[in-house]
Amino acid sequence: MKERALISKIKSRFLCQSDYLLKGIGDDSAVFADSKDFCWLISTDLLVDDVHFLRGLHDPYLLGRKSIAVNLSDIAAMGAEPRFALVSLAVPPYLLESWLDSWQDGVESMLLEHNCLLIGGDTTKGSVITINVVVLGSARPDQVLYRSGAGIGDDIYVTGPLGSSVTGLELLKREEQVSKYPQFTRAHLDPQPQVKTGILLGRSGLVSAMQDISDGVATDMSHICTESEVGAVIYADKLPYEKELKGLCSSFGWNLCDTVLGGGEDYELLFTAAPSNRKALELLAQQQAQTFVRIGKVTPPPVRVMLEENGLSRDITFSGFEHN
């Protein structure tokens, strides 16, 4: 069963309702509160050896950082501030203590960068390295950004270059030109969650919907469209990427546009905003030395994401990365 189908099956079975629950299954984080002025957000992710990372290619220190980063990114995608983390680890018998020490150093460094405290977790034996992280964040309820707020006519933005992580992974696998293109290997091994930017966008009141880019723009924009019950068009010539990516895609035999759209694990933010907010967003980006790249527009239903490229249009709905 495909990952998306499994999630849908679980969501349809466990229909949760509570006076404290503001958002359950279906967004980057669940949201709950018992106050009109304060709410908690909680997100969790699994990292499994040979599924989400390749131990032979991933330095344990950087893997420790990434273990936390991918969860911080989910909190950032809701416009919230990370507060606490719980880490659980299944350890195979062949794993060296020195590997674990280095991994913990990486976990600690990422937590310290974002003032997030480790408050618990679990450990057990396992046949492969399995890492589960839970992160709790907080925000005002009126500042939380969901996938469901996109409106027809809204602009679509991303916060940075796309396709870098999957390119870095390919360079590592081929063991070639790794030192020549550190921006790509760094994007894969040590992604930087856009926490500060997410908080600013949440507090700005300028954004209608948001999520992080973990499975590629094609799939992640499809999630926003599904929850908002709208469509979208993405303009291929507006997609941002590192200038060296074109040459690398050519050498790999990859399609440049498909790589940018579906590579996944870029952990930039994908958001929508009304056209009337363009100047305010430009000013906010300038103040933070940030770039918000406008890549498309929200369209009326049906729920689908279309790509316009070289005068042609094609359906790219949910065509990004997905675990089998």
* Domain at 300, CATH number: 3.90.650.10
Is 185 found in the same domain as 40?
no
CA distance 280 to 162: 24
Domain assignment present for residue 320? The answer is: no
pTM: 0.89
Asked whether residue 324 is domain-assigned, the answer is: no
CA angle 225, 226, 227 (to 5 degrees): 95
Answer yes or no: do 171 and 257 share one domain.
Answer: yes
Please identify, among 142, 177, 207, the residue that sits at the C-terminal boundary of a domain: 142
Q: Are residues 193 and 296 in the same domain?
A: yes
Task: Give the number of domains in the chain.
Answer: 2
If you search the block for the tokens 């967003």, which residue do you land on?
281
Question: H or E segment at 139?
Answer: strand 130-139
Q: Are residues 156 and 173 in the same domain?
A: yes
Q: Give a yes or no: residue 109 inside a domain.
A: yes
In a domain, 76, yes or no: yes
Longest dimension (CA), the chain: 58
Phi-psi region of 132 (alpha: psi -120 to 50; beta: other; left: phi over 0): beta
Identify whether residues 59 and 196 lie together within a single domain.
Answer: no
Which domain-ending residue is among 142, 158, 176? 142
Question: CA-to-CA distance for 170 and 167, rounded, in angstroms?
Answer: 5
Pairing mode, strands 293-299 and 269-273 = unpaired
Contact 156, 234 (CB under 8 A): yes
Q: What is the pLDDT along the chain (324 residues), one digit of tens a residue?
A: 666 676 576 666 666 666 667 776 666 577 868 778 889 999 999 999 998 999 999 999 999 999 999 999 999 999 999 999 999 999 999 999 999 999 999 999 999 999 999 999 999 999 999 999 999 999 999 999 999 999 999 999 999 999 999 999 999 999 878 889 999 999 999 999 999 999 999 999 999 999 999 999 999 999 999 999 999 999 999 999 999 999 999 999 999 999 999 999 999 999 999 999 999 999 999 988 999 999 999 999 999 999 999 999 999 999 875 544
Based on the domain organization, do 136 and 152 belong to the same domain? no
User: Does residue 251 belong to any structural domain of this protein?
Assistant: yes
State the residue range of the domain holding 67.
Answer: 3-142
